[in-house]
């Protein structure tokens, strides 16, 4: 039987691959899976946006619903850590989703990270009896598990009083969106392999690479500055997301985290970090053809094909910038 971790002890489910077992995802306490779970997408989120019965497509091509997508969690972690986090986000966004900007950066990271990790655990559970075995099973992807093991260390700030010393685990972008008529009030997408998660509440989108020590945010400073304080057309949001997704795909380093030894009287565990296997370059070379494929995937709703995107192979099509590299305002699509 697993025992709950102490206040400052970090739990490591990756050591014995404890996924889909009756153990709390956050502390490792033994559970009854029939009753001891929490929703990946919080009850308040499902109620506010009418998500409970909506389908979620899994990697094995099976379908779940938002309400069915849950993760094992003990009563103590649920009551002391998960519910207070969700209540804080729910309260902050009750009047307007724009108030996500008022949340502490660690709170926002933990809220996104809890959903992202919950999706990962659910996908692993599906692979035990898949409808159709994914072409690239998560359970066989050892580099992915290495990344998630690092990610889970910083995610444990959900339970352990923790401070990140002079670093931020993730790149997080908050963007205003001018939704088109008929667009749903809620949307999300993710890519487990690149650790990217995106969620939109009304007219505010959050796009994040959850394990890059904010390096992607650093290299995208100019793009981020150009899109701040003005609503993006959804086709522009899709392009911004493509840049983050492709940047995360090119990111070739794995952050590692190390807790400092605790001293008497310490009230927080302090984590230090460095990036593994760095030889001076943390990104693989940019390739316009590969970026164009990422862009084509996210531009599917507008039927913009790869041939149009790469009409000029040296300068892929953009709706964030004009041909001279100046920020582009898009009010309607197609452009008048």
pLDDT at 1: 36
DSSP 228: T
Say how far apart CA 315 and CA 238 lie, in whole Å: 18
What is the distance between the alpha carbons of residues 142 and 144, in angstroms, rounded to a whole number? 5
Write down the pLDDT at residue 276.
Answer: 53
Helices (DSSP H) in 4-77: which residue ranges?
A: 43-49, 75-77
Pairing of strands 269-276, 162-164: parallel
Per-residue pLDDT of the chain (336 residues), as tens digits, is 344 447 788 999 888 776 666 899 999 998 887 789 999 999 999 999 999 999 999 988 999 999 999 999 999 999 999 999 999 999 999 999 999 999 999 999 999 999 999 999 999 888 887 878 777 778 788 889 999 999 999 999 999 999 999 899 999 999 999 999 899 999 999 999 999 999 999 999 999 999 999 999 999 999 999 998 889 999 999 999 999 999 999 999 999 999 999 888 889 999 999 875 445 689 999 999 999 999 999 999 999 999 999 999 999 999 999 999 999 999 998 885
Neighbours of 161 (CB within 10 A): 11
Distance CA 69, CA 275 (A): 33
């Amino acid at each position: 039987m697993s025992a709950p971790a102490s206040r400052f002890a970090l739990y490591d489910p990756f050591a014995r691959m404890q996924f889909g077992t009756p153990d709390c995802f956050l502390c490792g306490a033994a559970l009854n899976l029939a009753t001891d779970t929490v929703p990946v997408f919080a009850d308040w989120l499902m109620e506010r946006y009418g998500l409970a019965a909506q389908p979620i497509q899994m990697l094995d091509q099976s379908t779940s619903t938002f309400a069915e997508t849950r993760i094992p969690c003990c009563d103590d972690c649920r009551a002391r850590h998960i519910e207070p986090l969700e209540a804080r986000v729910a309260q902050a966004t009750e009047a307007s989703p724009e108030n996500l900007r008022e949340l502490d950066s660690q709170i926002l990271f933990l809220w996104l990270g809890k959903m992202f990790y919950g999706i990962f655990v659910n996908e692993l559970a599906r692979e035990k009896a898949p409808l159709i075995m994914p072409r690239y099973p998560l359970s066989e992807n050892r580099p992915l598990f290495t990344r998630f093991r690092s990610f889970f260390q910083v995610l444990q700030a959900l339970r352990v009083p923790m401070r990140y010393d002079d670093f931020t685990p993730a790149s997080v972008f908050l963007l205003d969106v001018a939704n088109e008529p008929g667009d749903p009030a809620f949307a999300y997408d993710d890519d487990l392999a690149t650790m990217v998660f995106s969620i939109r509440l009304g007219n505010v989108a959050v796009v994040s690479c959850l394990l890059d020590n904010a390096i992607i945010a650093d290299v995208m400073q100019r793009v981020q500055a150009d899109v701040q304080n003005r609503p993006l057309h959804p086709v522009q949001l899709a392009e911004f997301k493509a840049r983050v997704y492709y940047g995360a795909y090119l990111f070739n380093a794995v952050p590692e985290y190390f807790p400092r030894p605790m001293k008497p009287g310490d009230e927080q565990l302090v984590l230090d970090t460095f990036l593994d296997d760095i030889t001076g370059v943390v990104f693989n070379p940019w390739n316009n053809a590969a970026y164009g494929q990422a862009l084509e995937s996210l531009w599917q709703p507008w039927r913009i094909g790869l041939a149009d995107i790469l009409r000029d192979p040296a300068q892929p099509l953009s709706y964030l910038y004009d041909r001279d590299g100046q920020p582009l305002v898009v009010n309607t699509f197609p452009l008048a």
